[in-house]
Amino acid sequence: MMLHAYTLAGGLRPEQIDLMRDKAIELVETVGLHIPHEGLLNRLHGINGVTIDKTSQMVKFRTDLVIKAIQEMRFPLPDYYEDGWVISAGAHQTKILDMDTGKIRETTHKDLVEMIKIGDALDTVGSAPVVPMDVPIQLQEIMMHKVAWENSRRRANDMFEHDPKPTVRCAEYIYEMSKIADKWFALGLYMVSPRSFDVVELEIIDKFLDKGVPMWAGTMPIMGVNSPITEKAGIQQAMFETYACLTMLNLLNTKSYNYIQIIDSFIAHPFDMKYSTFVYGSAEDVRATVDKLSIHKHLKMPLAAKSLLTAAKEVDAQCAAEVGMYTLMAALAGAKEFRCGGLLTSAEVYAAEKLVLDYEIVQYIKNVLEPEEFSDEMLLFDAIAKIKPGESFLEHPSTFKHYRTLYWDPNVFLHSNLGQWQEMGSKSFVQIANERAKKLLKEHAYEIEPEKKRELDRIYEIAAKDEALAKERQY
């Protein structure tokens, strides 16, 4: 018999979540959201249950439309999701901790390739980790997709990605590449809290409505800034905004399916009034994530958490404390995917050493929570009865049988004692993690089929010469 698996009890109860959901839907119907795009307003005009105030561009959706949108959303989960313990690494950072010098600097195309390879070696998913800042701005996102697809199995290739497509033309190039490479393509719509959108993002949505691509709704209100100061109220606003956005997409994007972004949806982020900066990895951020997971579980949505985030500037004790405790809470609350691997300083910096740490932490927690077998074989009381004072279990058959399988052998959380550590060179944790990252990079072997790569190269070359693309980004 197995011991009961460890889980988190407490927190939001189903009836409290239902109350928040009902309030959110009510706000969509009575308060509405701002859609600053004539084309989309025209498309919505005349739909039964949609009320538009042309002057203020405020749009309200009747409750049945919201419920319909919720019922029709679809989460195209990849196969690996069910097994859990997935890390999504990076979120297009523009700064990196240099693997050779240890200094923080701007990211390059070389970093993009290397970080994708290291991430792939650790089975990570998600978006491109860094932005190639040495590439012309209009080509950066195209390059991010191209490199991700060329050098990894899962990157930018399922619903866990959220790579930006900042202009219509850029989105079109990426769409074309995805067709050629047979890769994932979806368009995301982040709301601008409170209750509005970025006009350019709406324009891209408008232009892609005929293509039949999946679209998702996301929002990231900041508590005390663009949402109320309490965490629950922040989440309340996020639910309202997400449902409103989803309903709009459901009415407009009828040729494909729409869904709620599983990370940036029913969550609000804390803001530090002392430093006037938003904060990832704080105690309040953890609580918000646990609430979000409770809501997702109750509403039968996928379970993911941005638990690999930290406000720490280095791969240090603060960083590991925040990530470790955050991820444990998320895992106990049922999260299957852990996001923002490799990120430091509230997502300003990417570090390969941090990703190695994140991976180790996730493995550590996975092993802690692995249910133990409770049986006479595991209690070994016959062996205890027979052993005599002064004797040892070292040579007992059960020791030989179990010592490899029952104990986790860590990659970087070494169990050496002081003398052994000194003999091995007194290496710091960052050095150990750095060496592991370099080894993973060296040994990484995956690459896309040559003919697909040639096609991607060809499209990229066209984009590189496309003056309209460059001009569009300048705007």
Partner 1 sequence: MKLENFELAGGLRKEQIDYMHEKAMWLIETSGIQVPHEGVLKLMADHNGVTIDGEMVRFKPDLVQKAMAAAVYDVPEYYKRGKWFMSAGAHQTACYDLDTGKLKQASADDLVKFIKLGDALDTVGSAPVVPMDVPGHLQHILMHKAAWENSRYRCNDIFEHMDKPSYECANYVYEMAQAAGKRFTFGIWMISPKSFDAHNLDVAFRLRDKGIPMWLATMPQAGVTAPITILGTVLQSMYEHFAGLTVLYLMNPKGNNYISPNDAFEANTFSMKYTTFVYGSVEYVQHSLHQIALCKYYDLPIIVKSLLTSSQEPDAHAAAEMGIHTLIAGLAGARAFRCGGLLSTGEIYSGEWVVILDEMLQYIRNVLKEEEFSEERLMIQDIIDVGPGGTYVDKNSTYEMFRKEYWMPQLFEHSNLGQWIELGQKSIRQQAREIAQKLVAEHSYEIDRDVKKELDRIYERAKQDKALEKSLKLEI
For the segment 140-199, give every residue that binds partner 1 (CB under 8 A).
192, 194-196
Backbone angles phi, psi at 148, to 5 degrees: -60, -45
Stretch 97-136 residues interacting with partner 1 (CB under 8 A): 104
Q: Which is nearer to partner 1, 415 or 465 (CB)?
A: 415
Among the residue ranges 38-46, 113-121, 178-186, 223-231, the one whose residues contact partner 1 (CB under 8 A): 223-231
Cα distance between residue 310 and residue 327, in whole Å: 11
Among 67, 199, 387, 462, binds partner 1 (CB under 8 A): 387
Q: Which is nearer to partner 1, 216 or 240 (CB)?
A: 240
Among the residue ranges 211-219, 254-262, 410-418, 451-459, the one whose residues contact partner 1 (CB under 8 A): 410-418
Instruction: For residue 328, state whether it binds partner 1 (rule: CB under 8 A).
Output: yes
Q: Which is nearer to partner 1, 382 or 447 (CB)?
A: 382
Cα distance between residue 79 and residue 86, in whole Å: 11
Among the residue ranges 44-52, 253-261, 376-384, 455-463, the one whose residues contact partner 1 (CB under 8 A): 376-384
Instruction: For residue 334, state whether it binds partner 1 (rule: CB under 8 A).
Output: no
Q: Which is nearer to partner 1, 196 or 256 (CB)?
A: 196
CA gyration radius for the chain?
24
Q: How far is the CB of 58 from partner 1 (least distance, A)?
A: 8
Among the residue ranges 301-309, 322-330, 335-343, 458-466, the one whose residues contact partner 1 (CB under 8 A): 322-330
How many Å separate Cα 15 from the centre of its chain? 28
Stretch 63-92 residues interacting with partner 1 (CB under 8 A): none
Give yes or no for a contact between 1 and 375, defined as CB atoms under 8 angstroms apart.
yes
Q: How far is the CB of 407 from partner 1 (least distance, A)?
A: 6
E strand or H helix at 60: strand 58-61
Instruction: For residue 319, state whether it binds partner 1 (rule: CB under 8 A).
Output: yes
Backbone angles phi, psi at 103, to 5 degrees: -95, 150
Residue with tokens 């990659």: 411
Instruction: For residue 320, state whether it binds partner 1 (rule: CB under 8 A).
Output: yes
Q: How many C-beta atoms surround the C-beta of residue 171 within 10 A?
A: 23
**Angle 229-264-120 (CA atoms, 0-180°, nearest 5)?**
140
Q: How far is the CB of 227 from partner 1 (least distance, A)?
A: 6
Stretch 421-440 residues interacting with partner 1 (CB under 8 A): 421, 426, 428-430, 433
The region that residue 346 occupies, defined by phi over 0 for left and psi between -120 and 50 for alpha, beta otherwise, is left
Using alpha carbons, select from 332, 341, 326, 334 the residue that is nearest to residue 269.
326
Among 187, 311, 352, 437, binds partner 1 (CB under 8 A): 311
Q: How far is the CB of 164 from partner 1 (least distance, A)?
A: 21
Cα distance between residue 410 and residue 323, in whole Å: 17
Using alpha carbons, select from 158, 155, 80 the residue that is nearest to residue 447.
155
Q: Which is nearer to partner 1, 42 or 428 (CB)?
A: 428
Among 11, 39, 84, 102, binds partner 1 (CB under 8 A): 11
* DSSP letter (8 states) at residue 94: S
Stretch 25-54 residues interacting with partner 1 (CB under 8 A): 27, 30-31, 33-34
Q: Which is nearer to partner 1, 256 or 318 (CB)?
A: 318
58-61 and 50-53 strand pairing: antiparallel
Burial class (CB in 10 A: 0-12, 13-18, 19+), 78: middle
Instruction: For residue 413, state whether it binds partner 1 (rule: CB under 8 A).
Output: yes
Q: What are the Cα distances from residue 428, in Å, to 102, 269, 284, 334, 425?
A: 13, 33, 31, 33, 9
Stretch 230-289 residues interacting with partner 1 (CB under 8 A): 230-233, 236-237, 240, 270, 272-275, 277, 279, 282-284, 286-287
Q: How far is the CB of 11 from partner 1 (least distance, A)?
A: 6
Give yes or no for a contact between 240 and 27, defined as CB atoms under 8 angstroms apart.
yes
Q: How far is the CB of 417 from partner 1 (least distance, A)?
A: 4
Instruction: For residue 201, state whether it binds partner 1 (rule: CB under 8 A).
Output: no
Instruction: For residue 468, state whether it binds partner 1 (rule: CB under 8 A).
Output: no
